[in-house]
Structure 1
Amino acid sequence: MDSNQKLDQAAAAMADRVHPVKTPDPAMPDAAESPRSTTSSKTGGLPARKPGPEPGTYVIQVPKDVVLRQPLPGNAHLSKVYARRAARRRSRCCLCITWLFALVLLLAVAAGFLYLVFRPRAPNYAVTGLSISSFNLTAATVSPVFDVTVRADNDRNMKMGIYYSDASDITAAYDGVTLCEGKWPAFYQPPRNETVFVTELRGAGISLGADVERRLRAAQSEGKVPLEVNVEVPVRVKLGAMKSWTIKVTVKCEVTVDGLRENAVILNRDCHARVKFWGFLGL
């Protein structure tokens, strides 16, 4: 063996020590048959990279929570149509609210004008007489008859008349127990007028109860019997040529008489009336 061959063998041995070549495992598949080994051998053990963008193009990365949508031309047209419809609906709603507000304001102005012109006042009411009959406290039940004299004074109203309806209710009670009831007569009361009338109240088979009967006997013996006369009557108010719709007048009178008898003497009386005068716009 010449010197050149010896030098080549020595260089090969040295290269094998520096860069050893791994002997293939017979149990492993051939590297030529595995695509991963082929790719790794070409890329130096790194995974293959995705092909980059073509020259002259750009890649914009958007976060997942941000969505950019470009509507199609047909969808854009529909969006405009729906927007116009919504705008028209809002416009009609605003117009209705405006008209309603204007109507309420007009009614308030008209009511204020009528009040300033006519100056309506609630009439005064009083029970001026009371005659009681058929009130037998010794019976199990009582069927009393009250003849109540009422004075309706409309003298304070110079331009307001009142139409009283007979669809009314008048009751007389003692200690919360209704004794009899009747009706308010129907009539028209002109301005600056005082009307006195008598109405009959009747009760039938009223059971007082032991406690109420005992207190009533004691009041009868004392000569001071407190009674309540309550009135609810529908009325229509006339202001010039206008008439209101039906409103309700409520009167509560506390009357004390000297006994449960005919032509009883009224010892004390106090009446309060409640009338709402803000319904004058009916014609």
Structure 2
Amino acid sequence: MADRVHPDDHLNSFPEKPKPEPEREPEPETETETDRAEYLPSFAEKPKPPPGTYLIQIPKDQVFRVPPPENASKLAAYTRLAAAAAALYFALRPKLPSFSLASLAINGLAPSSSSSSSPISPDLAAAIRARNPNSKIGLRYLPGGSVAASYGAVALANGAWPAFFQGRDNVTEFVTPLAGSGIRLSPSTRASMVTAQRNGAVPLTVDARLPVRAKVGAVTTWTWTVKVRCDVTVDELTANATIISQACHVKLRL
């Protein structure tokens, strides 16, 4: 007799379908070191030296704090020299000399000759007053000093500054001749001189360049260059000219 098939047995004969797994949220992509290196600029990379080049690395503290042996003695000498110079400066309190013009006689620039186009030969006599205000320093003016006079940008005459020694707290006055030759003035310069003469105020400039050495006791310094510029106004361009105003400036070039 055939076996009876029960409905439950029939259903159980088929395998159960697998239950679907719940969907997972996608994991965020992570960036590896290799991926990051592909996109970021490599700031640590340094250019490779050319073939045959040797690089020597020195600690930073040694570069800035330890001088090379061959420069150590020089550094010590410069330090001692600077200290000695500072001590000498505060002990002596050096001051620049001062200068002024006592008078300025002028020939060859009279307005009557300004209408002519012929060259002129000015002749000036400058009475210069030089003052040394230092109580412990003497000044020696060496040969080679020069003095020049000009009207605006036109050079008129030049001469020599005398060589002499000026003691401490001393005022020395001397006269130096200035001469010019073959100077041609433009029509505008001539007209300007005539107008200034008529107004009784003629501006002139006197420049001096002086080689000077200072003397302290038995010690004489190296040569300095003293530059002097005096802006002078006279009432007329004659031998009897009177100085109306003046301003002298001194510069020292070591």
Identify unmatched segments of 5+ residues in structure 2. 1-55, 57-62
In structure 2, the residue matched to 1:170 is 147
Give the letter for the 2:129 counterpart: R
In 2, distance between residues paired with 1:248 and 1:239? Answer: 18
- Runs of 4+ deviating beyond 2 Å: 134-139
Aligned counterpart for 2:101 among listed residues 127, 133, 143: 127
User: Amino acid of the residue matched to residue 212 of structure 1?
Assistant: T
RMSD between aligned residues: 1.8
Q: Deviations over 1:219-249 (max 9, x none)?
A: 1111110000000010111112111111100
| Structure with the larger strand share | 2
Aligned residue number for residue 238 of structure 2: 261
Unpaired runs of 5+ residues, structure 1, are: 1-82, 84-89
Residues 123 and 153, structure 1, Cα contact 8 Å, conserved in 2: yes
**For residues 129 and 145 of structure 2, what CA distance do their matches in structure 1 show?**
16
Tell me which of the two structures has the higher relative contact order, counting C-alpha pairs closer than 8 angstroms and 6 or more residues apart: 2
State the TM-score, normalized to the length of structure 1.
Answer: 0.63
Task: Name the residue aligned to 2:127.
Answer: 149
Alpha-carbon deviation of 1:165? 1.5
Q: Show the counterpart of 1:4.
A: none
Describe how 1:236-275 pairs up with structure 2 within 5 A: 236-275=213-252
Give how far 1:164 is off.
0.4
2:114–2:191 CA contact under 8 A, matched in 1: no
CA contact (8 A) 1:129 1:263 kept: no
Task: State the structure with more CA Rg.
Answer: 1
CA contact (8 A) 1:231 1:252 kept: yes
Q: Tell me how far apart the structure 2 counterparts of residues 124 and 160 of structure 1 sit (CA, whole Å).
A: 14
8 Å CA contact 1:249–1:273 kept in 2: the answer is yes
**Per-residue deviation, 1:124:** 1.1
Normalised TM-score (structure 2):
0.70
Identity across matched positions, percent: 37
Which residue in 2 is equivalent to 1:117? Answer: 91
1:104 Cα deviation after fit: 1.4
Q: 1:223 aligns with which of 192, 200, 208?
A: 200
1:216 Cα shift?
Answer: 1.1
Q: Equivalents in 1 of 2:192, 2:199: separation in Å?
A: 10
Aligned partner of residue 235 in structure 1, secondary structure: strand
* Larger helix proportion of the pair: 1
Write the deviation string for residues 34-92 of structure 1: whole angstroms up to 9, x where unpaired.
Answer: xxxxxxxxxxxxxxxxxxxxxxxxxxxxxxxxxxxxxxxxxxxxxxxxx9xxxxxx9xx
Q: 1:104 aligns with which of 73, 78, 82?
A: 78
For 1:96 and 1:123, locate their aligned partners in 2 and report how far apart those are by CA, in whole Å: 41
1:95 aligned residue (48, 69, 74): 69
